[in-house]
Amino acid sequence: MRKSILFFTGISLISWALFATPSFAAGSAKAGKAKSAQCAACHGVDGNSPSPAFPKLAGQSAGYITKQLTDFKTGRRVNGIMAGQAAGLSKADMENLGEYYSIQKHTKGAASNAKLAKKGARLYRGGNAKTGVSACMSCHGPSGKGIPPKYPAVSGQYAAYTSAQLKLFKDNIRKNDDGLMAGIAFRMSLDEIQAVSEYMAGLY
Ligand code: HEC
Ligand code: HEC
């Protein structure tokens, strides 16, 4: 028993050392890097988008990125720009891109309005019992790292992008998760959306 545990530990240490990526990874980061040239203008060479108009992808889980690209391609998640970008991608391209961005180092974000962020922290960590908003932390994690692959990392994302997505969920325009986030955002006020987005921008 003990021996086999040691054996398996040894094997996984070896595969970590050899490939420096988890052994369950489906995509190839090298192929993803080559494919990412067409994405760099908006999302940055390493997935750290230079502009708040575009979400950061660096450090996001590979499975979540692959799912979003699939949803953009099939029209399940509606966005004109990304529909065009995803149209020519194969399933393998999406997995490779996901792998590439997931291993990039995320540049730290920060909240620009401390007072608003403090208000957002209460909602993120405790929800709003009065209006039935669930605590974001329960799915996106106490430090916003998410729970891969289903629950995305949200820490350090541009507040403008986060609040835009929360509004799309609230208006039931983004519903590519069978309405899970729409059901949550529906109960949020626009002030709460602004506050929690500000908090998440500097959450680690
Ligand atoms: C012309 C600019 C542009 C280019 C080029 C572009 N994107 Fe995007 N991307 C966007 C915008 C804008 C959004 C936000 C869409 C929305 O609001 O739903 C986005 C969103 C995404 C998301 C969703 C992120 C999240 O957190 O849910 C992923 C994943 C993504 N892009 C990957 C890519 C990949 C991979 C490429 C290259 C094949 C690419 N993008 C090329 C503009 C671009
Ligand atoms: C029950 C679990 C759950 C809870 C609670 C939850 N979320 Fe989510 N959230 C999800 C899932 C699942 C997705 C991914 C949707 C998809 O696949 O496109 C998501 C996606 C998001 C996104 C989009 C991220 C991106 O990169 O585009 C934002 C922003 C977000 N959630 C914010 C919040 C906030 C703020 C709260 C608290 C008010 C919250 N979530 C509570 C499950 C949850």
Nearest alpha-carbon partner for 66 in 176, 170, 188, 162: 176
Instruction: State which of 36, 85, 100, 173 you would mutate to test the pocket of ligand 1, scoring each by most atoms of that ligand within 8 A of its C-beta.
Output: 85
Amino acid at 51: S
Please report the pLDDT score of residue 9 as a whole number.
Answer: 45
Ligand located closest to 151 CA: 2
- Give the model confidence (pLDDT) of 36-76 as tens digits: 999 999 999 999 999 999 999 999 999 999 999 999 999 99
Give, using CA atoms, the residue closest to atom 5 of ligand 2. 136
Does residue 179 or residue 13 have the better pLDDT? Answer: 179
Please report the pLDDT score of residue 8 as a whole number.
Answer: 47
Sorting pLDDT into bands at 50, 70 and 90, what band is 106?
very high
Q: Which long-range contacts (CB under 8 A, 24 or more apart) does 146-152 make?
A: 146/61, 146/64, 148/61, 148/62, 148/63, 148/64, 149/61, 149/62, 149/63, 149/64, 149/66, 149/67, 150/63, 150/64, 151/64, 152/60, 152/61, 152/64
Query: What letters, b where the CB count within 10 A reaches 16 and e where it falls short, cover 90-127?
Result: eeebbbbbbbbbbbbebeebebebeebbebbbebbeeb
Tell me the residue length of the chain. Answer: 204
CB 83 within 8 A of CB 72: yes
Could you tell me if the CB of 81 is within 6 A of ligand 1? yes
Give, using CA atoms, the residue closest to atom 11 of ligand 1. 54
Give, using CA atoms, the residue closest to atom 13 of ligand 2. 151
- Give the model confidence (pLDDT) of 158-196 as tens digits: 999 999 999 999 999 999 999 999 999 999 999 999 999
Please report the pLDDT score of residue 25 as a whole number.
Answer: 56
Give, using CA atoms, the residue closest to atom 34 of ligand 2. 136
Q: How far apart are CA 186 and CA 92, in angstroms?
A: 35
Please report the pLDDT score of residue 16 as a whole number.
Answer: 39
- Give the model confidence (pLDDT) of 25-36 as tens digits: 589 999 999 999
CB 32 within 8 A of CB 96: yes
Could you tell me if the CB of 140 is within 6 A of ligand 2? yes
